Amino acid sequence: MSERRVVVTGIGVISPLGNDLASTWEGLKAGRSGISRVQSTDPSPFPCQIAGEVRDFDPSPFFKNPKDARRADRFAHFGVAAASMALEDSQFDPGKVDRDRVGVMLGSGIGGLSTLESQHRILLEKGPPRVSPFVIPMMISNIASGMVSMEHGFGGPNMTIVTACATANHSIGEAWRIIKFGDADAFLCGGAEATILPMGLAGFSNMRALSTRNDEPERASRPFDVDRDGFVMGEGAGMLVIEELEHARKRGARIYGELAGYGLSADAHHLTSPQPDGSGARRCMEMALRHARMNPEEVDYVNAHGTSTPLGDVAETRAIKKALGTHATDGLVVSSTKSMTGHLLGAAGGVEIAACLMALEEGVIPPTINLENQDPDCDLDYVPNEAREVPIQSALSNSFGFGGHNASLLVRKM
């Protein structure tokens, strides 16, 4: 692996807590829940009737051609918007760089589910001639990454990774790898998701994966709490601008931190359940540490995958303890921001690495809210209910997806 170093210079976020980084981060620090009763569709037929929805979002300012916005699914709206926000935050001027050395890696766990639902309804009710000619490009998961490159003229490597809830971390990690290998100087990378729809609610509900605490939506996502009963869906996007260090320095970029390590592994265990002993997740974190050339005790904060599922939270706790050893129970700080945002599926890692970078910058660890009766099998310091001021130098972010896909990112101060 090349010695080229990779840094983060821009962040763009759309989440249930707000339609930009600032409002999302303020919500996380305040311990505010973005979960409420679903408003975008009638939730009454479904066992789970709550979610973290993005509200009052207008995609049109982020597209040069208004027609392009109308020909894009909601997940692509989120991805294009978050990418534009990240570029603006980075003060990255596409006209002043070699655009053929700038790549895009924007993933989605499910892609254009809204388009699939609506056009399938038209097919059944009105027949094949009435199906939109744009149904395929609106639906396919790679279209958001393609649209970002078209909007900004970036001709570098362009890919889409689909690894369920690990999608954004894999996208950022593989972009990091391409820069390290020398095939690009900068990337827009992360994930976008929009699945709060009848099919999404029905599918996840019938798996018994979702919380049914419908009468208390703000208290439904409760990672590591003994009364947790499943995750809560969220939607949105998280995108980063990452650059080779000297490329960033030459243009005088502000640097949030170094993307120092990336790990990935497979559980090779079950369609939806994690390896109970956390061994796959452990290997993933250990690889991130090796790439960063860091010891376990040098990790100050872990933004846990922490979905609020009975099996997942215990398995991740075991994995953290095995990967970080005695440090896990002696000085390490862990929290799950999904307690506030819900689970953004393929976009989760993008929003959560943004939280890690802001924690590095401000020395504030966002809390795990709703942690009122901690599960004895989850015995780490999860920063219950209130943010904590803790100066930190490094942070590890975990994302684990259905199919046993694991991805960890490690960022540190420069």
Q: Which of 247, 291, 305, 405 is catalytic?
A: 305
Instruction: Supply 391's token pair.
Output: 């100066």
Q: Is 165 a catalytic residue?
A: yes
Instruction: Supply 13's token pair.
Output: 């976020």
- Check if the beta carbon of residue 189 is closer than 8 Å to that of residue 86: no
Q: Which of 165, 189, 356, 378 is catalytic?
A: 165
Element (H, E) at 191: strand 186-193
Among 325, 359, 401, 403, which Cα is nearest to 171's? 401
Instruction: Supply 401's token pair.
Output: 């997806």
Residue type, 350: G
- Give the separation between CA 320 and CA 278, rounded to whole angstroms: 8
What is the number of other CB atoms lying within 10 angstroms of the CB of residue 84? 19
- Check if the beta carbon of residue 330 is closer than 8 Å to that of residue 362: no
- Give the separation between CA 406 and CA 240, rounded to whole angstroms: 20
Q: Is 77 a catalytic residue?
A: no
Q: Which of 189, 343, 356, 405 is catalytic?
A: 343
Output the CA torsion sign for 221, 223, 226, 232.
positive
**Residues acting as catalytic residues:** 165, 305, 343
